[in-house]
Chain A
Amino acid sequence: MRKFVDLHIRPNLESINELEGMIKTASYLGFSALGIAIPLDKCNEIGSIKKICLSYGIDFVSRLDIVPRDRSSLSRDLEKFRSSFEIIGVNYVPSIVENDKRIDMIFFSGTIPPRAFFSKEARAAAESLISFEINLGNFIKLDGLNRAEYLSRLGIAVYFARKARMKIVVSSGAETKYLLRSPRDLAFLATSFNLEFKQAVKSVSDIPLGLINGNRLRSSSNYIEEGVKLVGET
């Protein structure tokens, strides 16, 4: 049976009830793993979040969202936190976020994505194996002209990301449980960004699972280097 992952939810960690409600809803909707964005001041709560996830049969994936100010601050943050989080997402800022293999994915967090992600940027990101994340929470949240602009700009970015053969990940980016959608519904919503449904389903299941498993392998003690792992000692 296919496993589904929502790699980006941004719950309010001040309220445990709200967090639990989100995890419960995600579990009901059919997700088997959740990437929860943890603010740096809440790192000590990872253990309790993991426990709540486990109680609903959800695999917890720790995630850090970085909003870079400049290249050096991004590099510093990546160096400091890469090993502490399973997924590192970076809010795309033109000319700051380009090619760094420590970044797992780039996403647009604002309501209006910048008009700055074209062929050159997509190719640079693809060379560093960075994935492109579509957060559908914004699409659901927005209305009117803002939504039209969002659809148009993100549609262009997705076009270039696909052309450069970047991996596309579809997530909800939900801040409340009401912005969550079931995996197949997320995939269907993603078709409005010119993804085929089959491809969109992979973007909610196989692609994010591959990312998580790859990063877990890399952080395990058996990992030697890319493509080489320790299977046993004689």
Chain B
Amino acid sequence: MPYSPVRKRYIAFKLLSDTFIYYNDLSQSIRIEILKLHGDFGVSKAGYRLIEYDGKTGFGIVKCNHLALEQTRLSLLSLKSVRDIPVIPQVLYVSGTIKSIRQKMKETIPLST
């Protein structure tokens, strides 16, 4: 089985806002927040990627390296606006596989919306 020294972590979140937020804007804003909080080195080590985001429901999944989980989560939570639109981020789950986090989100979304 191929082995990767860096394991992945997936963070499921919900973004509460009064206005529609676009995927690209959010992705950029989270990256900038990691940069502000942890610097260039932090961004390079985080392995951050916004896997999916639904602007209608506000649900999304962020991928990062397991060693940078705390930094990424902290940056996500300290996000206060996306393109000057104020937001409230809420971390729902953290998981090691995309399959399990999607499963958990499937269980959550009908309850929350």
Interface residues of A (CB under 8 A from B): 25, 28-29, 139-141, 143-144, 147, 176-182, 184-185, 188-189, 191-192
Check: B87 CB closer than 8 A to any chain A CB. yes
Q: Nearest Cβ distance between residue A183 and chain B, in whole angstroms?
A: 10
Residues of B contacting A147 in the complex (Cβ-Cβ under 8 angstroms)? 36-37
| Distance between Cα atoms of A181 and B81 in the complex (Å) | 13
Contact between B88 and A178, CB atoms less than 8 A apart = yes
Check: B77 CB closer than 8 A to any chain A CB. yes
Query: With A25-B16, A143-B36 in contact, is A188–B91 under 8 Å at CB?
Result: yes
Cβ-defined partner of B90 (8 Å) among A29, A141, A189, A192: A29
**Majority secondary structure, A binding face:** helix
Check: B73 CB closer than 8 A to any chain A CB. yes
Closest to A177 in B: B88
Check: B78 CB closer than 8 A to any chain A CB. yes
Check: B74 CB closer than 8 A to any chain A CB. yes
Cβ-defined partner of A185 (8 Å) among B36, B77, B80: B77
10 closest residue pairs by CB, A with B: A178-B86, A182-B90, A185-B77, A140-B78, A140-B80, A189-B77, A185-B91, A178-B88, A192-B74, A180-B88
Query: With A25-B16, A144-B36 in contact, is A139–B87 under 8 Å at CB?
Result: no
